[in-house]
Chain A
Amino acid sequence: MADSALSGVGVLDLSQGVSGGYCTKLLADLGARVIKVEPPSVGDCTRRAGPFLNDIPDLEASAPFLYLNTGKQSITLDLKSPTGQRILLELVKGTDVLVENFKPGVMEKLGLGYSVLEQVNPGLVMASISCFGQSGPYRDYEGCELVAYAMSGYMYLTGDEDREPLKAGGSQSGYQAGLAAAMAVLAALTRKDFTGTGQYLDVSTIEALAGTFDGVSFYTMMERSGIMPRRAGTRLITREPQAPYPSRLLPCKDGWVHVHWSPSFPEGLALLTGNPGLAAAEVMAAMMGHADEIDQMLVDWLKDHSREEVQSLAQEIRVPFTMVHSIAEVLADPQNEAQGFFVEIDHPVAGRLRYPSPPFRVPLSPWRPARAPLLGEHNLEIYCHRLGHSMEDLTRLRQLNVI
């Protein structure tokens, strides 16, 4: 097999849901060998999340599971049973990385805390992803996507000014936590290359999300000017009248477009719309202070133009407008087509679907598209061929619901 960035790196993924799933998906995309350890019979909770093929619930045809687990292997194992715990320790011996996202303290209760695992495998890199982190007063609070979005500070900044705060679509808390964990694991593996030692990584979802907006600008704005940064619809968040025009979504003839002003082409909006008001001296001197007027002048022009027209007319003169695409349109757009971003992968239950490629193109570590595993698909390979259990053991372990 060709070399890849993470050739030879073994990952045990005990996590469920988006955060751990995305972390180990990225590691698998980069060539790591990821074994997903799922609870017997039911599997990872994203198998039950849907949407499903033809809207019929099926553990093997759930969109988030199929997406988040490409290129991994799956075994089933009951970590609550002493037999399961013993088997896990066997697996830990042969792995480089372990990722889990139980509530803090659960791994210790299972007898699988880092201090135990480190004795079995001294070079182990272990990443624990939790909503609030493994320390601090909120450590034992119940978390989820929505709670993380709220407590990261991001929700207060998302939504319309005169309405309630809004959660972003999908699972952005989960994705950012997974991405942070992937960075943490790679940094720890890099360090291990030099020192030979592993380490324990405590990844906090609220901290991951809090790092995705301009924290300091807001904090500084607040502390120095006394102005509280606040959500601003689809506009960029700023309160200073002299700030540049805050880009935003505006309606056009057949949908919505994202309008943006570029400092490298200040007269662009006026040129695009033919409205000199958009380059008037008093407007340019304090664009944020005139944002509502600018919006109105843009809307007057946009209402006569389709999204396609807006994007191509604007981009032709290097004004950075883009259209709002639906999910269906993104799947079919000419740029994704040309880039080959969506790649067809077959799956015995879900069938042939077009999957997003990894979000990085690493030429010496080319992506090998491979579907998500069926529940327990690799039990035979891992338990018998790798750990040396007999076929009879495999049957007994299944009968006892250990695997």
Chain B
Amino acid sequence: MAGEGCQSFPLSHVRVIDLTNVIAGPVATRVLGQLGAQVIKVEQPWGRAIGRVAMHGQQPGHARPYNAIASFNEVNRAKRSVAINLAHENGKGLFYKLVAVSDVLVENYSPRVMGNLGITYAALRKVRPDLVMVSMPAMGASGPWANHICFGPGTDALGGLSDVTGYQGGPPHKPGNFYADHNSAFHVATAVMAALRQRHRTGQGQHIQVVLREATMAVIGEFFLGYQLTGHPPQRMGSHHPAMVPHNVYRCKGDDAWAVIAVASEEEWQCFCKAIGSPPWCCEERFGTFLERWRHQEELDRLIQGWTEQRTPHEVMEVLQGHGVKAGAVLKAPEILENPHWRERGFVDRTEHPEAGSYKHPGLPWKSSRSPANLGQRAPLYAEHREWVLGELLGVGDEEAVQLRAAATTPAEPVEP
């Protein structure tokens, strides 16, 4: 697709083959789709394909349940879908034809599976010499744990993020849900765009590796240096901060309602005291200096909570922000969807899905002055674009197409193995 001139979306000259499952890989290719790339998801022929059945957000009793899984439909927006049996010779042939007309291939199978399928970068280069390929192994392409099975949350544990997350004095914890998956996905999108730019200049493709666990370690990099510099391990500190007091989450009026407050300087402390009406305890000796406040943090937090408990999270935020103090409501999902700030910025994307109804999604986290937001792009139905792939895209001859349509190679509906 290269060679298109003036373009509205940054990647509208790029075709991507998405050979990924679950969260991390699909999010990576979704970002490329949101930036205008034409992304073709190559799905497995059988219904047990992990992303289609295993995740949450299913609609029980749905006629084609694999088309109505909320998490699948979230992470696979802005893509087309074709199902291909890569273990079948005809299927593999079709896959190579697809690769020959594509710019990028992203896969997140374990190194073992790709080896078994015989799909290697060396082989793919023969049909597409300047292909940019990305592999996303959990642990790495080699090494003693190369074939370990591990999903994003497992890398929180094995990469150190769990070790530095948790309540003060408590056991290791983790950010909710699939943080590591999304994190690695965004690193993949970054690397793909860099490699495409290099290809634009040099004509050369390459095979990139983004290791799930390494992407997790990269976003806590300072802890590895800190440990070497000081010789002592980091402590889990809840929502506290080493250099800000108060710095915590406080219970507010309402059901499971919370707000955060962070005070960074002497000046901000004065503003904070004023904002909460200068209660007598603000002037007590034990809170007189930063170091005193640090030593009496627990008592201070209790007194502050006495103030926040009388107010809703939004009241706490508005009063304190009105005095220039860092504060925020701990927002729940519906508050994000209805919040005037997010609405004004057009962050929440909406899609209409023919079998699953309407969805709301987070959009891309930036606004570009000269590229419109590529909104409203829904996820594909299973194998929705089979005829388009065989016909318009690849121009497969009639006889061959009949063979390929045979369920075992490129089914229109999932087949049971």
Count of interface residues, chain B, beta-carbon cutoff 8 Å: 157
- Structural contact, B175 and A146, CB atoms closer than 8 A: no
Q: How far is the CB of A301 from chain B (nearest CB, A)?
A: 18
Cβ contacts A130-173/B at 8 Å (1 or 0 each):
00111111100111111111111111111110011111111110
Partner of B142 from the list A219, A258, A339 (CB cut-off 8 Å) is A339
In the bound complex, CA of A191 to CA of B369 (Å): 12
- Structural contact, B326 and A169, CB atoms closer than 8 A: no
Partner of B7 from the list A194, A218, A321 (CB cut-off 8 Å) is A194
Residues of B within 8 A of A216 (CB): 57, 70-71, 73-74, 359-362
Q: Does A400 make an interface contact (CB < 8 A)?
A: no
- Structural contact, A201 and B369, CB atoms closer than 8 A: yes
- Structural contact, A211 and B329, CB atoms closer than 8 A: no
- Structural contact, A360 and B333, CB atoms closer than 8 A: no
Q: How far is the CB of A308 from chain B (nearest CB, A)?
A: 12
In the bound complex, CA of A351 to CA of B195 (Å): 33
Interface centre among B335, B337, B362 (most CB of A within 10 A): B362
- Structural contact, A61 and B229, CB atoms closer than 8 A: yes
Partner of B223 from the list A141, A260, A320, A327 (CB cut-off 8 Å) is A327
Cβ contacts B357-396/A at 8 Å (1 or 0 each):
0011111111111110000000000000000000000000
Residues of B within 8 A of A220 (CB): 57, 70, 359-360
- Structural contact, A176 and B230, CB atoms closer than 8 A: no
Binds B, one of A35-43, A221-229, A385-393: A221-229
Interface centre among B53, B177, B208 (most CB of A within 10 A): B177
Q: How far is the CB of A365 from chain B (nearest CB, A)?
A: 6
- Structural contact, B328 and A327, CB atoms closer than 8 A: no
In the bound complex, CA of A303 to CA of B145 (Å): 24
- Structural contact, A156 and B325, CB atoms closer than 8 A: no
Residues of B within 8 A of A163 (CB): 167
User: How many residue-residue contacts, CB under 8 A, span A and B?
Assistant: 522
- Structural contact, B344 and A135, CB atoms closer than 8 A: yes
- Structural contact, B326 and A146, CB atoms closer than 8 A: yes
Residues of A within 8 A of B239 (CB): 146, 164-167
Q: Does A89 make an interface contact (CB < 8 A)?
A: no
Q: How far is the CB of A358 from chain B (nearest CB, A)?
A: 7
Q: Does A280 make an interface contact (CB < 8 A)?
A: no
Residues of A within 8 A of B151 (CB): 247, 260, 320
Q: Does A291 make an interface contact (CB < 8 A)?
A: no
Residues of A within 8 A of B223 (CB): 63, 169-170, 327
Nearest chain-A residue to B8 (Cβ)? Answer: A191
Q: Does A397 make an interface contact (CB < 8 A)?
A: no
Binds B, one of A3-11, A72-80, A373-381: A3-11
Q: How far is the CB of B114 from chain A (nearest CB, A)?
A: 16
Q: Given A5-B195, A216-B360, A320-B149: A342 and B330 within 8 A (CB)?
A: no
Q: Does A24 make an interface contact (CB < 8 A)?
A: no
Q: Given A324-B172, A325-B159, A362-B194: A67 and B182 within 8 A (CB)?
A: no
Residues of B within 8 A of A211 (CB): 182, 362, 364-365
Partner of B369 from the list A49, A156, A168, A200 (CB cut-off 8 Å) is A200
Q: Does A189 make an interface contact (CB < 8 A)?
A: yes
- Structural contact, B370 and A199, CB atoms closer than 8 A: yes
Q: How far is the CB of A22 from chain B (nearest CB, A)?
A: 8
Q: How far is the CB of A18 from chain B (nearest CB, A)?
A: 8
Q: How far is the CB of A13 from chain B (nearest CB, A)?
A: 16
Cβ contacts A208-245/B at 8 Å (1 or 0 each):
10111111111111111000111111101110101110
In the bound complex, CA of A218 to CA of B207 (Å): 35
In the bound complex, CA of A128 to CA of B305 (Å): 35
Partner of B150 from the list A189, A320, A361 (CB cut-off 8 Å) is A320
Q: Does B408 make an interface contact (CB < 8 A)?
A: no
Q: Does A195 make an interface contact (CB < 8 A)?
A: yes
In the bound complex, CA of A5 to CA of B227 (Å): 32
In the A-B complex, list the 6 residue pairs whose CB atoms are closest, starting with the nearest: A169-B164, A338-B143, A157-B176, A216-B74, A207-B365, A258-B157
7 additional A-B pairs beyond A170-B220, A211-B364, beta carbons within 8 Å, are: A133-B345, A146-B247, A166-B173, A169-B236, A213-B177, A217-B55, A363-B207
